[in-house]
Amino acid sequence: MSLWAIIPVKPLIYAKSRLTPVLSPDQRFELAQAMFRHVLAVTTTIQQVTGVLVISRDTKALAIAREMGAKTLQEGAMSNLNPALLRATMVVKSWRADAVLVLPADLPFINAEDLRDMIALAADRSLVIATDRNRDGTNALLIRPPLAIEYDYGGGSYRRHLRMARAAGLQVREFQSDRLSLDIDVPQDLREYQEILDQGHFGHLPSFPVMCGAN
């Protein structure tokens, strides 16, 4: 299987706007960049992943991706997530990818074991999906073959992706992982993130104990 990972990245300087009540712009940039680097570091080391393509309009994010061994694709200024993912998928399909794994750039605790386990579930015509803690969004999506369904990210995307996959006759496999279920969007997410850091793990990630109300 030729599997390409696709990581869409919003401009890092504007990332995590919903954390404005607890983090400064510099802190939000620091957090977004650290999580992106972590997702890249994990994904680029997985033997089963043929390559990684980062799509973004942010030249800083694209430079980081190239520095860490990923391919890059410049996103149009007026583009949004679903068309950007479609464009990236068409590119990797032209590189003979027969499966794609879409990952967001804000999964601070993703690890190689999770990705290998997800990949192991992929059949010839299948969708493997990991949702968030609210079973609302899509935190990881493996589609084989590429373009078997349309991308429909946004609120409620988890159920829409499941519905489309079943309508397309794909084998649907749901992947459960506490590490994949935690993305960082709102202050409550950041508090849980800080609690995990306070246990002494993930020293490569920035810590915000005062902002999160940690002791």
CATH number of 158's domain: 3.90.550.10
Look up residue 35 and give its DSSP letter. H
Structure tokens at 73: 């694709």
Gap between the Cα atoms of 153 and 80, Å rounded: 10
**Amino acid identity at 114:** D
Range of the domain at 36: 3-182
pLDDT of residue 79: 73
Judge whether residue 144 has pLDDT over 80: yes
pLDDT bucket at 202, cuts 50 / 70 / 90: confident
Asked whether residue 76 is domain-assigned, the answer is: yes
Indicate whether 60 belongs to any domain.
yes
Task: Determine how many CB atoms are found less than 10 A away from the CB of residue 58.
Answer: 21
Name the burial class of residue 146, with classes exposed (0-12), middle (13-18) and buried (19+) by CB atoms within 10 angstroms of its CB: buried
What share of the chain in percent tops pLDDT 90?
77
Residue 11's region, left for phi above 0, alpha for psi from -120 to 50, else beta, is beta
Per-residue pLDDT, averaged over 7-12, amounts to 95
Q: Could you tell me if residue 205 is inside a domain?
A: no
Predicted local distance difference test score (pLDDT) of residue 76: 80
Tokens for 93, please give them.
């399909």
Please, are residues 18 and 188 in contact by the beta-carbon 8 Å criterion? no
* Reported pTM: 0.93
Asked if the structure places residue 206 within a domain, the reply is: no
Give the C-alpha separation, 57 to 212, whole Å: 30
Cα 110 to Cα 2, 37, 39, 43, 208: the distances in Å are: 22, 11, 7, 9, 19
CA distances from 86 to 79, 149, 150 (A): 11, 10, 8
Domain membership flag for residue 161: yes
In a domain, 26, yes or no: yes
Over range 86-96, report the average pLDDT. 97
Residues in the chain: 215
Asked if residue 111 belongs to a domain, the reply is: yes
**Residue pair 185/23 in contact by the 8 Å Cβ criterion:** no
Domain count, the chain: 1
User: Is 36 within the bounds of a domain?
Assistant: yes
pLDDT for residue 104 is more than 80? yes
